Amino acid sequence: MRRTSLTVLILSLMIVLLVSITLAITLGSVDIHPRTVWRIALNHVPFLGEWTTEDWTRAQHSIIWDIRFPRVLLAAVVGAGLSVVGVAIQSLVRNSLADPYILGVSSGASVGATLVILFGAFSMYGQYALSVGAFLGSLLSIVLIFSLSRIGGQNSTVRLLMAGIAISAILSGVTSLIIFSAPNEHGIRSVLFWLSGSLAGAKWEYLTIPSLVVLVCLAVLLAQYRSLNSMLMGEESASTLGVNTVQFRKLLLVITALLTGVIVAISGSIGFVGLMMPHIVRVIVGSDHRRVLPVSALLGAIFLIWADALARLSFAPEELPIGIITALCGGPFFIWLMLRSSYSFGGGGR
Amino acid sequence: MKLVASDITVSLTNKRIIHDIGMEVKEGEFVGLIGPNGSGKSTLLKSIYRVMKPTAGWIGLDGDDLYKLSPKESARRMSVVRQESSVEFDFSVQEIVMMGRSPHKKTFQLDSVEDKDISDKALARVDMSDYAERSFFSLSGGEKQRVLIARALAQQADFLVLDEPTNHLDVRYQLQVMDIVRQLGITVLSALHDLNIAAMYCDRLYVLKEGHLVASGSPDEMLTSDLIREVFGVETDVSVHPITGKKQIYFISTAFQAKGIRTAEVSSGP
């Protein structure tokens, strides 16, 4: 599979992504033809809009353009972002078991976001307050976890996971404590809904920051793909290959915190995607980050679009928290991976 | 002079591991570093390949202050084959060798035909061309070591640092790996734990004990029964091998030493 041309793979995944977006938008309580979806979309593009004739109802327009489009696109952005942050954090800690959810980085973001929602912290940043709060929370927790796991020299998997579990537990406790002492009922309910992970709140204006952050971080990581590869050989080996490991580690810490913060701010904590996607992708294309990064982003986007569609539709009109879907897919997937003799978390058994 | 290290001291949490060591490696030389476990071989090498900064002292590479070079610049001048801890992620052999090209690349630069060519030639020099597409995991210890040497070659540095390159290898691969390194014709500094290997391949040896430099000189001068007893604490019978013309060290365990003395007594009897 390594020989599969990267361009062909990426182009086909892009087509699948476009088809998924279209289909996911047509799905729902009101049936809508795929052609209508794109005609409404084109209608909003400057200059092109004049070329399309409006043969849809106002209700259809509002369902598609105001509700389903932003939601499906947000699913794509969040899915891509979670997968990319999974790749980054796995290279940072050089361990394929790492993901922001498992290591407690998401919990840190949740603390920040909860403070913003309930107490209006960072209100000087206006509409960006939630993102800023979540970013600072995740930065704090990842720096804590990372430095704890490195005390006394080499960082081992066990130390890292122990630090992650401890920090995660502490921060979840802090979140609960904040909610417990919160002044208003309404705020509490919105925090609880948001904590369980959901894309239901999607609006066009919420899309800008996450999309930009995901794209910029993906571009920065892609530009550094050689350093990411070298880091997987071990930090000391990486430095003999010309990587400025001290600076590069800081860059990865900031990128991980930024991506996690922004994503948690918009969608709550959605688990397993950041862990699952890089694994699947490595099985398909190997470990070279030039391949892993774009393919993970695309596959993550596609996966979360369908996970969210499932969350919307399976118990309609009730909506499942999307975290349930990702956990129900992710758990069995990992057991299956484990049982495959040829694969042991990154390939140690090959 | 390729490498000059003067008065190198390395401390870790207030404990001195290396004490005032000075050493030199001349252009084209194959220099070995020997000493028992814990004598500071690896630490000294780490301070030379910039992973553990010396607490005192100066290291010069081609006359420049080593620690003032950018990481990329020093990777273009010095390549390192370490004792690789297990790599958890799966790369193909070619991908590993291509990593050696990274110090030559700018941020957005893609791999060129030239890079591919250099990495192919590096693989050919360690006789691993047929393995380019193979997974690094699937290789034996000796094959992995050859791939890592190929990665070092792809760096096109003319100074190679090796940390016990023959560790955990079968005898055949120990010789093969050392032959490959010897034939490269570049300057080599290597920590070695096998004294016979050191005798066979090195131009000069530095002998370390408990973080101190005990002696240095040619293998013929260094590898004597007295020095080995003093540094390694073992009795040996050292001779010159008739075929290689190199020193050959035979280790005599304490059990046989007792026997040896007894037979000597019997034969010298009345």
- Residue B259's pLDDT is 63
A249-263, A318-332, B99-113, B255-269: segment of lowest average pLDDT: B255-269
Residue B187 has pLDDT above 80, yes or no: yes
Residue A156 lies in a domain: yes
Q: Is there a contact between A240 and B138 if contact means CB atoms under 8 Å apart? A: no
Domain extent listing, chain B: 3-267
Cα B134 to Cα A83, A247, A286, A328, B90, distances in angstroms: 27, 32, 11, 35, 10
Burial of B111 from C-beta contacts in 10 A (0-12 / 13-18 / 19+): middle
Distance between CA atoms of residues B16 and B10, nearest Å: 6
Residue A26 lies in a domain: no
Residue A58 lies in a domain: no
pLDDT band at A345 (very low <50, low <70, confident <90, very high): very low
**Contact between residue B65 and residue B58 where contact means Cβ atoms under 8 Å apart:** yes
Residue A3 lies in a domain: no
| Among candidates A223, A234, A348 on the partner chain, residue whose Cβ is nearest the Cβ of B107 | A223
In terms of DSSP bridges, do strands B187-191 and B30-34 run parallel, antiparallel, or are they unpaired?
parallel
Give per-residue pLDDT as tens, B25-61: 999 999 999 999 989 999 999 999 998 899 999 999 9
pLDDT band at B235 (very low <50, low <70, confident <90, very high): very high
Residue A298 has pLDDT above 60, yes or no: yes
**How many Cα atoms occupy the beta-carbon half-sphere of A72 within 13 Å?**
24
Identify the contact set of chain A against chain B, taking CB-CB distances under 8 A.
2-3, 94-96, 223-224, 226-227, 229-230, 232-234, 236-237, 239-245, 282, 286-288, 345-348, 350
**Contact between residue B189 and residue B33 where contact means Cβ atoms under 8 Å apart:** yes
Phi and psi, residue B238, nearest 5°: -105, 130
- Residue B93's pLDDT is 93
Residue A210 lies in a domain: yes
Which two three-digit tokens encode residue A85? 């942050």
| Chain A residue numbers touching B153 (CB-CB < 8 A) | none
**Contact between residue A232 and residue A240 where contact means Cβ atoms under 8 Å apart:** no
Contacts for A285 with CB less than 8 Å, ≥ 6 apart: A1, A2, A4, A6, A9, A291, A292, A295
Residue B118 has pLDDT above 60, yes or no: yes
Distance between CA atoms of residues A112 and A257, nearest Å: 12
| Among candidates A227, A239, A347 on the partner chain, residue whose Cβ is nearest the Cβ of B50 | A239
Q: What is the mean pLDDT of residues A155-184?
A: 82
Q: Is there a contact between B90 and A288 if contact means CB atoms under 8 Å apart? A: no
Residue A153 has pLDDT above 70, yes or no: no
Q: What is the mean pLDDT of residues A248-256?
A: 90
Give me the CATH number covering residue A189: 1.10.3470.10
- Residue A155's pLDDT is 56
Residue A20 lies in a domain: no
Q: Which of A231-235, B13-17, B153-157, B263-267 has the highest mean pLDDT?
A: B153-157
**How many Cα atoms occupy the beta-carbon half-sphere of B79 within 13 Å?**
25
Residue B267 has pLDDT above 60, yes or no: no
Contacts for B106 with CB less than 8 Å, ≥ 6 apart: none
- Residue B152's pLDDT is 94
- Residue B253's pLDDT is 87
Residue A287 has pLDDT above 50, yes or no: yes
Residue A47 has pLDDT above 60, yes or no: yes
B36 CA: distance to closest CA in chain A (Å): 23
Helix, strand or coil, per DSSP, at residue B191: strand
A148-157, A289-298, B165-174: segment of lowest average pLDDT: A148-157
Site from A151, A236, A241 to mutate, B interface, most B CB atoms within 10 angstroms: A241
Which one has a higher pLDDT value, A82 or A191? Answer: A82
| A238 alpha-carbon distance from chain centroid | 27
Q: What is the mean pLDDT of residues A36-59?
A: 76
Residue A291 has pLDDT above 60, yes or no: yes
Which two three-digit tokens encode residue A303? 């996966």
| Chain A residue numbers touching B69 (CB-CB < 8 A) | none
DSSP state at residue B139: S
Find the closest chain A residue to B74 by CA distance. A242
Contacts for B201 with CB less than 8 Å, ≥ 6 apart: B30, B32, B178, B181, B182
Report CA Rg, chain B. Answer: 21
Q: Supply the range of the domain harboring residue A177.
A: 75-339
| Chain A residue numbers touching B102 (CB-CB < 8 A) | 226-227, 229-230, 241-243
Find the closest chain B residue to A237 by CA distance. B82
pLDDT band at A276 (very low <50, low <70, confident <90, very high): confident
Q: Give the pTM.
A: 0.86
Helix, strand or coil, per DSSP, at residue B169: coil
Distance between CA atoms of residues B237 and B204, nearest Å: 21
A17-31, A190-204, B10-24, B114-128: segment of lowest average pLDDT: A190-204
Distance between CA atoms of residues B270 and A275, nearest Å: 82
Provide the edge-to-edge strand list for the sheet that holds B64-65: B15-25, B3-12, B56-61, B64-65
Query: Strand runs (DSSP E) across chain A, as ranges?
Result: none
pLDDT band at A52 (very low <50, low <70, confident <90, very high): low
Which two three-digit tokens encode residue B107? 């941020």
DSSP state at residue B92: B
In chain A, the number of structural domains is: 1
Residues A13-47 as b or e (16 or more Cβ within 10 Å = b): beeebeebbbebbbbbeeebeeebbbbbbebeeee
Which two three-digit tokens encode residue B155? 């760096």
Residue A69 lies in a domain: no
Give per-residue pLDDT as tens, B83-95: 766 667 788 999 9
Please, what is the average pLDDT of chain A? 84
Question: Angle CA(A5)–CA(A11)–CA(A12) in degrees, nearest 5?
Answer: 90
The pLDDT > 70 percentage for chain B reads: 93
Give per-residue pLDDT as tens, A24-38: 998 887 778 888 888
Give per-residue pLDDT as tens, A53-95: 777 788 888 888 888 899 999 999 999 999 999 999 888 888 7
The complex scores an ipTM of: 0.86
- Residue A348's pLDDT is 40
Residue A30 lies in a domain: no
In CATH terms, the fold of domain B3-267 is: Rossmann fold (3.40.50)
Which two three-digit tokens encode residue A275? 């862990």
